[in-house]
Structure 1
Amino acid sequence: MGTRIIMVAQDCSADYTTVQEAIDAVPLSNTCRTVIRIAPGFYRQPVYVPKTKNLITLAGIRPEDTVLTWNNTATKIDHHQGARVIGTGTFGSGSTIVEGEDFIAENITFENSAPETQYTYLGRPWGPFGRVVLAYTYMDACIKQDGWNNWGKPENERTACFYEYRCFGPGSCPSKRVEWARELIEEEAEQFLAHGFVDPDPQRPWLAQVMAARIPYSAM
């Protein structure tokens, strides 16, 4: 079965005007890649991809032009889904919450627009085998210099895999990160950024083009 395309634009020129409407239109237990192409704009709404909707791609044109933003915090959650679905506290506070498998996002900014009151971590190992790879990612000054936190479980430092690769911005401080997280070298990063790992569709060359560019740090 081929790829399905859904268009989103706030000016009513596409299939839907909101990202959530497009996600809601994806069939339950979806078995083909569904690409939701999002026109430039600031989309101010929480977004939720449920477990029953897999193989979804959200695709913008440029990350600075297509922004999905909302202002939830762990203590103030305004969401179209109830707490029994998305959870409470940190679990339910994401501006975009993805539970479906094989999710891909490209050329999109995901933003939490709640007022910044403190510095934050890139992530924490909620379980012993957490794995995160942040590549070509802009990091704002609100990111703590040590980057990662063991969440009071030092034993998880031995098994969690937290990696960065060619990230940039004032919050990108590879030399000051915790010792149990590290910067990948090019050969290591390629296994995570290979097109087949991220998106098995060989007709979508966007990642191959990014990798071919070999963007130097000086250009960031």
Structure 2
Amino acid sequence: MGAARMKVYNGCAILLFGMIVFGSLMAAASTGPTDMSTAILVRVDQSGINGDFKKIQDAIDSVPSNNSELYFIWVKPGTYREKIVVPADKPFITLSGTRASDTIITWGDTGEIIDSATLSVFASDFVGRYVTIQNTFGTSGKAVALRVAADRAAFYGCKILSYQDTLLDDNGRHYFSNCYIEGATDFICGNAASLYERCHLHSLSREDGAITAQHRNSTSEDTGFIFSGCKITGIGTALLGRPWGAYSKVVFYLTNMSSVVLPQGWDDWGDQSKQSTVCYGEYKCYGPGANRTKRVKWSSSLSSDEAAPFLTMDMIGGRDWLRPVPTHFKRGSTILTEQADGITRD
């Protein structure tokens, strides 16, 4: 296994995954799919008319343990009132709607943060596409919509909705593209290594709510949240983040920050000792909320060299594991192909 490259700024060590993940990826590939263009199609239709299952959980349960093929679970439009778990022994699943606005997974649980999620992903190599995932519990407690606690997970065009702890980005390497994420209190939290590209972050906080609560606990942990080309809006005022872990790491670059972002930007969560250990940076952000003249002094305006490690997929090793959408599907001996308006027979 090659040696990792290290970048350091303001005391924060940044490990670039690109040179260290090769061995683990090759090990995964030996038991994973050899054909990334073809997936087994499983259809979910709550009406029971045009589907193999009425419930999403039943479709997930039908995937064999430790499967070595891609499974594509196509969810027809509807509101699915389910609390869903993707178990660790069911890798290589894609869960896809056609539009997030009409394919909704909803539940309303609270309690311990690790138990309240509407959708919990424990399986590696998971993909979510064009679905809404929401927790409707309300404003009085922890209410996770999505928990991601597995390596190599990606989400495209999803809506993730709740109030407190909306997205528990728990552990592993993750990628979020063109997602809408909404909440008020620490609504993107956890200790994953995640890249958010072109995502819309919407704060429901009336005042002083935090968008992020990243949970990195030491310099040896290669984790952090990176936001690239995103947009921040809201109904009141919000902080960019506060440290759930003493070595919390969050970077925003090329992000449009509305006036919802408080001038100080960041908070130490009542522990001044964390000011010397957190890694909070901004690079070429714009909009009224990006003005750094009143930012806390222990956050950073990154130079081009300091920002360089965050301008690629290297932190999550994404070039090696992000996979394209399958172009062919099979159900038994029937081969199908994807078209713009859905999946139809050849």
Instruction: State the TM-score, normalized to the length of structure 2.
Output: 0.46
Equivalent of 1:141, from 183, 203, 206?
A: 203
1:63-93 Cα shifts (integer Å, max 9, x gaps): 111111111112xxxxxxxxxxxxxx21111
| 2:233 paired with 1:183 | no
Q: What is the match of residue 12 of structure 1?
A: 48
Distance 1:188 1:145 in 2: 27
SS in 1 for 2:311: helix
How many correspondences in the alignment? 186
Equivalent of 2:84, from 39, 43, 47?
A: 47
> Looking at CA atoms only, which structure, 1 or 2, has the larger radius of gyration?
2
Distance 2:92 2:41 in 1: 12
Aligned sequence identity (%): 22
1:41-84 Cα shifts (integer Å, max 9, x gaps): 1111101110111100001101111111111112xxxxxxxxxx
Taking CA–CA contacts closer than 8 Å with sequence separation of 6 or more, which of the two structures ends up with the larger relative contact order? Answer: 1
Equivalent of 1:161, from 216, 224, 228?
A: 224
Structure 2 counterparts to residues 35-184 of structure 1, below 5 A: 35-74=72-111, 89-117=112-140, 119-126=184-191, 130-142=192-204, 146-150=210-214, 153=217, 155=218, 159-168=222-231, 170-171=233-234, 176-178=239-241, 180-184=249-253
The verdict on how the C-alpha distance between 1:162 and 1:194 changes in structure 2, with shifts beyond 3 A counting, is closer
More helix by share: 1
More strand by share: 2
The verdict on how the C-alpha distance between 1:94 and 1:22 changes in structure 2, with shifts beyond 3 A counting, is same
Deviation at 1:199, TM superposition (A): 1.6
Kindly report the root-mean-square deviation, in angstroms, between the aligned alpha carbons of the 2 structures: 3.6
Q: Which runs of 5+ in 2 are unaligned?
A: 1-34, 141-163, 165-183, 243-248, 256-309, 329-346
Q: Which runs of 5+ in 1 are unaligned?
A: 75-88, 205-220
Q: Which amino acid aligns with 2:227?
A: E
| 2:322 paired with 1:198 | yes
Distance 2:43 2:62 in 1: 11
Distance 2:325 2:202 in 1: 32
Structure 2 counterparts to residues 18-29 of structure 1, below 5 A: 18-29=55-66
Deviation at 1:193, TM superposition (A): 10
Deviation at 1:200, TM superposition (A): 5.1
Distance 1:150 1:163 in 2: 11
